[in-house]
Amino acid sequence: MANIGFIGLGNMGGPMAANLLKAGHRVTGYDPVPAAVERFTAAGGVAAAKAADVAAGAEVIITMLPAGRHVREVYLGPGGVIAAAAPGALLIDSSTIDVETARAVAASAEAAGLAVLDAPVSGGVGGATAGTLTFMVGGPDAAFARAEPILQAMGKTIVHAGGPGTGQAAKICNNMILGISMVAVSEAFVLAERLGLDAQKLFDISSKSSGQCWSLTSYCPVPGPVPTSPANRDYAAGFTAAMMLKDLKLAQDAAAGAGVSTPLGAAVAQLYGLYCGSGEGGRDFSGIIRLLRGT
Ligand code: NAD
């Protein structure tokens, strides 16, 4: 069992740290929000007063932070993780952030002789709680081999995507597919409604035809066909539209940086911008159908 430091004990990090504790690891954690720390100590974790205290003495340090600027601050800032980590420590960032920041952190950590991985996740709070997350991991083979047994306490599928930054690349590419497919499915249901085609009938036909996709069959944006989808509970999130917008913007920034044209990704990012701008950013991302329907 390992001595693990965990920084960022929010909606995702809290249950992930709890699963590490359940697996028998010793976990020291830090979060500036007292309620997050209380939940963590109630699960058996040891609270630290600052990020640097978490890093000192940990064999493995995991971060689950909101965005790239938080990751830069926590790793690269004065008294940051890279400066405070013990020699030989393994650093794993599971936040969803820009590829550039992931690579900057990797370069600084490597220069300091520390192993580092970008390891964003898919599966949401439900997956974090159940320990069934998918990890997409970028970084050196040896670091991945060390991380795998630790990540298995929090996830079901652990994929080594390639070198530094490729975990983040996989995450934003996947979520660009998801955003585009959710808008595609939503547009089809709105058109079907106007053409007098029953939503359940469209579902029955398309789920067995070439329109079949996850946004339709697992996360249907209209109530009825998939009882577990957020559409059945007034689009209570799930995965918020604001988070989808964040990921779509990351994909657009990456595409611009790489000189790649992603016209559908750009259009969908704009639609989610409009939806969030209408005050619906806290709703599930499948609620985009309301913007398209105009109700
Ligand atoms: P969250 O806001 O609930 O948690 C982030 C935590 O980081 C907060 O508790 C915050 O207090 C803490 N934090 C902020 N700055 C800090 C600092 N300097 N030092 C230490 N802690 C700090 O967000 P979340 O939903 O847990 O998401 C975390 C990451 O996971 C994001 O990058 C998000 O995009 C990604 N993600 C979220 C989901 C989801 O469904 N929630 C799914 C997949 C990926």
State in words which class domain 169-293 has: mainly alpha
pLDDT (tens digit per residue) in 137-148: 999 999 999 999
State pLDDT tens for residues 229-272.
999 999 998 889 999 999 999 999 999 999 999 999 999 999 99
The ipTM assigned to this model is: 0.99
Question: 3-class DSSP state for residue 96?
Answer: coil
Active-site positions? 171
Query: Rounded to the nearest 5°, which phi and psi values hold at 213?
Result: -165, 170
Pocket (CB within 6 angstroms of ligand 1): 7-13, 30-33, 36, 51, 64-66, 70, 73-74, 95-96, 121, 124-125, 239, 243
3-163 belongs to CATH 3.40.50.300: no
Band the pLDDT of 46: cuts 50, 70, 90: very high
Looking at the CA of residue 240, tell me the nearest atom of ligand 1: 40
Give 2 Cα–ligand 1 centroid separation in angstroms: 23
pLDDT of 57: 84
Distance from Cα 195 to the centre of ligand 1, integer Å? 42
Residue whose Cα lies nearest atom 13 of ligand 1: it is: 8
Interval 161-168 mean pLDDT: 97
Cα distances (angstroms) measured from residue 157 to each of 12, 138, 214 = 17, 14, 18
**Residue 261 structure tokens:** 């044209």
In whole angstroms, what is the distance from residue 97 CA to residue 175 CA? 12
Q: Give, for ligand 1, the residue of 7, 9, 11, 93 to mutate: max count of ligand atoms closer than 8 Å to Cβ.
A: 11
pTM confidence score: 0.93
Domain ranges across the chain: 3-163, 169-293
